[in-house]
């Protein structure tokens, strides 16, 4: 646990009064208008610098030239089929900027990000597609007229002249608007899933304005957290002596990002809804056979707030109403004609013409008076279609149906429920925010890293466990067949073979449409049925649920949405037991293999046909990777221990046994310890390993212990005994081959980096501590290794202000064996910090993790806020923005709350005390006996028959 006196530094790292006048804070402190004390902050006039992209060295290029040629050929082949390769380093769109902010919406229904300067960008409505450029017609603007004076103000609430806006004096488009906000006195405050933009006397010196952005990311609320909608609540405070007529304007293009607004056939439709919610529906016809999308932009009319709309305006001179004319109307009148609500749907737009809509909400604010105006944005894309043709209903359709009117219902419910959402958010966040033992930077970085669960390309469908093509011809669950398999696919005579491969459910593409509105309001009315959830490895690495990376990120899901985490584990458990014999060419060596090997944990759930075509990653043959199977077992046990869900444990137990049995083929000297094969056969897929490795070996030791513990808790005593013996033997071999007196060597080989200090060498120990299991090594070794990593990988890199570099030579020089050894990985650093917390090294832990904040999130850093990359180099060149692994910061929070483990380990130290029965040799049927007991769980709490 965190001690009470170690966080004396940076107790108030970013006090809000450094960004906003204290008087202004007090004036806005009603109805949630004032930003919180702990938040990520930026002034709106902060320069959005261009980020520096990663590049390989000349020697690295020479080593990877064959891979590069094969990858180039593969990228071109995929492009010829109209698809994007899952990894494509050759085609970059635009220059990435340090301009991101909190994304809009819940999880799994597409996302849009609002940058801290006010622009809407990063459209991810279609799966695996990210349109990064801002749609500049999408803006909030303000119009102010002072009664009895000539004071008038009109401004877009986004500072300066932006890219993509013409400057012609006769322009009828966006440049005719008032882009006159300096941003000097305006600030952005982010605490995911909310954000506050405070305009402190801009553009009117006597008007304080706060815009609060709220999205329904609500832990353990599986209904509202799936909703594609956000609310923007404007708080207005008039400090002047005259009444102020204030009109706020929301403009929105009929677009899903990029140039889609020019594709034509888009229709806008005004509406008046219930409870004063009124606005415009924008029906968007997508290209390439994708399902249509409907946006709703709306405001809430009250006794003091009047809402009007303009259903359509264009950005060119030929439009019936131009953007310039729309702006002039608002500048003069502050509202549109009420008759516009009766205009009906617009004529479909022509190709090349934009079709934009506007919603105005106006009110009078008395001298020293206050007022609140609320807007909402929603988008409804009921079906998600993947590139290879399969479609599924998104999760929110369970509650809102599949009709185009769902968007209107979504904005209505958002505007009538957002206060309840905020209550849930504050109840969740306040115990952490008010914990004085935690440093300020950690509090808001912890929550803000969760942006990835919305903006990381997440997809949440209503169907549970879609059927893979190679499983769909059978109606039964897989039957486990005990016996020999002649060593095929790495499962030897001690393993398993399977037949009657099948899946539990059919694809939702075969389900009938539902046009009725369901709109159930109980957030927990679905029991354990939470559908199926996908999230990308990163927006540049478009593979769903990449498992070696999920190992780090999954702490966030387990803590906040444990039913989703269990559903992902069930999908991987099911996949372990099946084989997909379709041929694949692996790009690293040019050899052919099969897509999915039985007994091996898949690297990912696919790209363009998830669940049906797993292992989209094709650089290496991941059936030969040494970390995936142990990581599966470690995650399963951690989740089993954290939830105490015995039915989950029994369901995935056969897959655990199969995954462990599969790994026996990699123990080539009968010491119960796996060896690596002299190529990058783990998550560091450019960093070669020879012999026993600290990383994979430690994961394997943890998996052995977790399997023994899980067997014991499920009542399978024979399996528990056998794996205890394997663990003891493997641990002796591991320490003998790698422990050098102060840390574990990188590997047992003889290369020039075999004695390197790897930051991630205790990943298996991290999971033992997180799961309530005994330590893998004695405390002296654990603390010694962690201290060595801290002294070298952390403190010898810019004085500890950058995180932990992956590899460091014992002479204090960064290991530059490959691009990954010389990188800092944010997720690995967070995982290292979590391991330190578990070991009682809290001060080193937070110093280590603060380096990620300093380099990635602080004003003096590289500008990675809300787009944390996979890693960066010492000179600040990033690789792979918007990446999954940094969610591992929630592993730190898990370490601070160890009581979260529900299942206790066996009552004795089972790893040191075993029965006196004769050992089971590998030459006999040891693992076979283990697996045979696995299915029936003889002597367990479960009743089952074979």
Q: How far apart are CA 350 and CA 925, in angstroms?
A: 72
Q: Do 328 and 415 fall into the same domain?
A: yes
- Domain annotation covers residue 901: no
**Among the three residues 459, 482, 505, which one is the final residue of a domain in this structure?**
459
491 and 662 Cβ atoms separated by less than 8 Å? yes
Which residues make Cβ contacts (< 8 Å) with residue 109, sequence separation at least 6? Answer: 226, 227, 228, 379, 381, 394, 395, 396, 460
Q: Do 646 and 791 fall into the same domain?
A: yes
pLDDT in tens, 125-160: 999 999 999 999 999 999 999 998 889 999 999 997
> Inter-axis angle of helices 628-643 and 694-713, to 10 degrees?
40
Burial class (CB in 10 A: 0-12, 13-18, 19+), 5: exposed
The yes-or-no verdict on residue 555 having pLDDT over 50 is: yes
- Domain annotation covers residue 176: yes
Q: How far apart are CA 89 and CA 209, in angstroms?
A: 43
Query: For 340-405, where are the alpha helices, taking DSSP H only?
Result: 397-400
**Which band of pLDDT confidence, cut at 50, 70 and 90, is reported for residue 469?**
low
**Among the three residues 435, 459, 483, which one is the final residue of a domain in this structure?**
459
Q: Do 440 and 576 fall into the same domain?
A: no
- Domain annotation covers residue 83: no
**Mean pLDDT value across residues 366-372:** 96
Q: Do 455 and 539 fall into the same domain?
A: no
The yes-or-no verdict on residue 480 having pLDDT over 80 is: no
Q: Do 693 and 833 fall into the same domain?
A: yes
Q: Which of 121-135, 407-421, 688-702, 927-941 has the lowest mean pLDDT?
A: 927-941
Q: How far apart are CA 176 and CA 154, in angstroms?
A: 12
The yes-or-no verdict on residue 560 having pLDDT over 80 is: yes
- Domain annotation covers residue 869: yes
pLDDT for the residue numbered 262 = 87
The yes-or-no verdict on residue 482 having pLDDT over 90 is: no
pLDDT in tens, 729-763: 999 999 999 999 999 999 999 999 999 999 999 99
Q: What are 201's two structure tokens? A: 């006397």
**Among the three residues 425, 459, 493, which one is the final residue of a domain in this structure?**
459
Q: Which of 7-16, 66-75, 477-486, 825-834 has the lowest mean pLDDT?
A: 477-486
pLDDT in tens, 864-893: 999 999 999 999 999 999 999 999 999 999
Q: Do 455 and 543 fall into the same domain?
A: no
Identify the domain containing residue 634 by its residue range. 529-896
**Which band of pLDDT confidence, cut at 50, 70 and 90, is reported for residue 25?**
confident
Residue with tokens 């606005």: 279
pLDDT for the residue numbered 320 = 87
* Overall domain count for the chain: 2
Q: Do 716 and 837 fall into the same domain?
A: yes
- Domain annotation covers residue 6: no
Percentage of the chain beyond pLDDT 70 is 86
Which residues make Cβ contacts (< 8 Å) with residue 586, sequence separation at least 6? Answer: 592, 593, 618, 619, 620, 621
**Mean pLDDT value across residues 843-861:** 96
The yes-or-no verdict on residue 466 having pLDDT over 90 is: no
The yes-or-no verdict on residue 515 having pLDDT over 80 is: no
pLDDT for the residue numbered 902 = 78
- Domain annotation covers residue 312: yes
Which string of DSSP letters, residue by residue, matches 552-620? HHHHHHHHH-HHHHHHHHHHHHHHHT--EEEEEE-TTT--EEEEE-TTSPPS-S-SSSTTTS-----SS
Q: Do 417 and 559 fall into the same domain?
A: no
- Domain annotation covers residue 62: no
Percent helix, strand and coil across the chain, each to the nearest 5: 30, 20, 50
Q: Do 442 and 572 fall into the same domain?
A: no
The yes-or-no verdict on residue 529 having pLDDT over 60 is: yes
**C-alpha angle 566-777-736 in degrees, rounded to nearest 5:** 120
The yes-or-no verdict on residue 233 having pLDDT over 60 is: yes
**Mean pLDDT value across residues 211-231:** 98
- Domain annotation covers residue 480: no
Q: Do 659 and 743 fall into the same domain?
A: yes
pLDDT for the residue numbered 513 = 42
Q: Do 710 and 850 fall into the same domain?
A: yes
Q: How far apart are CA 912 and CA 896, in angstroms?
A: 27
**Mean pLDDT value across residues 676-687:** 96
pLDDT in tens, 570-584: 999 999 999 999 999
Task: Write the CATH number for 603.
Answer: 1.50.10.10
Q: Do 549 and 453 fall into the same domain?
A: no
N-terminal to C-terminal alpha carbon distance within the chain: 45
């Amino acid at each position: 646990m965190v001690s009470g006196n170690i966080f004396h530094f940076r107790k108030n790292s970013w006090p809000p009064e450094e960004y906003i006048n204290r008087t202004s804070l007090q004036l806005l402190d009603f109805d949630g208008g004032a930003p919180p004390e702990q938040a990520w902050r930026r002034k709106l006039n902060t320069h959005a610098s261009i980020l520096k992209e990663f590049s390989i060295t000349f020697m690295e290029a020479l080593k990877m030239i064959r891979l590069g040629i094969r990858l180039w050929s593969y990228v071109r082949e995929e492009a010829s089929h109209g698809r994007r390769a899952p990894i494509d380093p050759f085609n970059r769109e635009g220059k990435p900027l340090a301009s991101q902010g909190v994304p809009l919406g819940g999880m799994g229904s597409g996302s849009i990000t609002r940058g801290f300067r006010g622009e809407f960008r990063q459209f991810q409505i279609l799966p695996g597609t990210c349109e990064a450029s801002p749609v500049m017609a999408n803006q909030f603007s303000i119009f102010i007229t002072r009664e009895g004076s000539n004071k008038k103000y009109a401004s877009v609430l986004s500072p300066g002249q932006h890219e993509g806006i013409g400057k012609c004096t006769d322009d009828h488009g966006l440049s005719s608007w008032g882009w006159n906000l300096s941003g000097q006195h305006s600030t952005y405050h982010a605490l995911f899933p909310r954000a506050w933009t405070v305009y402190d006397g801009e553009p009117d010196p006597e008007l304080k304005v706060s815009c609060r952005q709220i999205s329904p990311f609500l832990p353990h609320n599986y209904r509202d957290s799936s909703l594609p909608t956000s609310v923007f609540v404007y708080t207005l405070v008039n400090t002047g002596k005259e009444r102020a007529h204030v009109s706020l304007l929301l403009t929105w293009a009929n677009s899903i990002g990029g140039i889609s607004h020019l594709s034509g056939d888009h229709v806008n439709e005004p509406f008046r809804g219930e409870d004063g919610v009124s606005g415009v529906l924008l029906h968007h016809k997508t290209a390439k056979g994708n399902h249509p999308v409907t946006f709703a932009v709306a405001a809430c009319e009250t006794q003091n707030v009047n809402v009007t709309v303009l259903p359509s305006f264009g950005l060119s001179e030929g439009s019936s109403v131009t953007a310039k004319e729309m702006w002039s109307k608002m500048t003069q009148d502050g509202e549109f004609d009420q008759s516009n609500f009766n205009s009906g749907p617009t004529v479909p737009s022509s190709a090349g013409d934009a079709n934009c809509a506007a919603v105005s909400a106006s009110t009078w604010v008395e001298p020293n008076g206050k007022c609140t105006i609320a807007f909402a944005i929603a988008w409804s894309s009921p079906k998600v279609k993947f590139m290879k043709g399969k479609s599924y209903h998104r999760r929110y359709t369970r509650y809102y149906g599949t009709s185009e009117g769902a968007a209107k219902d979504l904005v209505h419910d958002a505007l009538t429920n957002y206060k309840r959402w905020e209550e849930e958010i504050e109840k969740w966040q306040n115990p952490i925010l008010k914990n004085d033992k935690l440093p300020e930077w950690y509090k808001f970085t912890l929550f803000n890293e969760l942006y990835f669960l919305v903006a990381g390309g997440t997809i949440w469908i209503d169907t549970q466990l879609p059927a893979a093509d190679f499983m769909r011809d059978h109606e039964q669950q897989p039957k486990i067949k005990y016996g020999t398999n002649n060593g095929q696919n790495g499962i030897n005579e001690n393993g398993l073979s399977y037949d009657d491969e099948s899946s539990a459910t059919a694809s939702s593409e075969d389900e009938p449409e539902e046009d009725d509105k369901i709109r159930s309001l109980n957030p927990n009315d679905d029991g354990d049925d939470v559908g199926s959830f996908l999230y990308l490895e990163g927006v540049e690495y478009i593979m769903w649920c990449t498992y070696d990376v999920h190992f780090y990120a999954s702490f966030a899901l387990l803590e906040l949405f444990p039913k989703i985490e269990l559903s992902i584990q069930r999908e991987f458990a099911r996949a372990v037991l099946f084989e997909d014999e379709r041929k694949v060419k692996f790009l690293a060596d040019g050899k052919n293999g099969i897509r999915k090997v039985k007994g091996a944990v898949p690297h990912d759930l696919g790209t363009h046909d998830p669940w049906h075509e797993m292992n989209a990653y094709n650089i290496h043959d991941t059936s030969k990777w040494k970390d995936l199977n142990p990581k599966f077992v470690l995650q399963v046990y951690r989740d089993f221990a954290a939830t105490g869900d015995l039915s989950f444990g029994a369901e995935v137990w056969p897959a655990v046994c199969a995954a462990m049995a599969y790994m026996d083929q990699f123990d080539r000297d009968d010491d119960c310890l796996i060896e690596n094969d002299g190529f990058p056969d783990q998550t560091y897929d450019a960093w070669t390993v020879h012999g026993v490795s600290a990383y994979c070996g430690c994961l394997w030791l943890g998996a052995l212990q977790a399997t023994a513990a899980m067997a014991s808790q499920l009542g399978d005593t024979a399996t528990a005994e056998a794996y205890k013996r394997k663990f003891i033997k493997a641990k002796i071999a591991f320490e003998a081959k790698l422990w050098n007196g102060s840390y574990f060597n990188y590997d047992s080989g003889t290369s020039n980096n075999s004695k390197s200090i790897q930051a991630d060498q205790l990943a298996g120990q991290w999971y033992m501590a997180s799961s309530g299991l005994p330590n893998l090594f004695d405390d002296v070794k654990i603390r010694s290794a962690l201290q060595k990593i801290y002294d070298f990988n952390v403190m010898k890199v810019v004085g500890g202000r950058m995180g932990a570099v992956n590899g460091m030579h014992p002479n204090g020089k960064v290991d530059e064996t490959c691009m990954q050894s010389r990188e800092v990985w944010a997720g690995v650093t967070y995982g290292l910090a979590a391991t330190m917390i578990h070991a009682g090294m809290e001060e080193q832990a937070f110093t280590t993790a603060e380096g990620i904040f300093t380099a990635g999130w602080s004003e003096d850093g590289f500008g990675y806020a809300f787009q944390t990359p996979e890693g960066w180099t010492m000179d600040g060149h990033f690789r792979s923005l918007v990446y999954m692994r940094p969610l591992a910061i929630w592993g730190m929070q898990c370490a601070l709350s160890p009581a979260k483990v529900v299942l206790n380990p066996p009552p004795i130290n089972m790893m040191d005390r075993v029965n006196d029965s004769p050992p089971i040799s590998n030459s006999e049927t040891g693992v076979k006996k283990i697996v045979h007991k696995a299915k029936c769980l003889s002597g367990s709490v479960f009743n089952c028959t074979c």
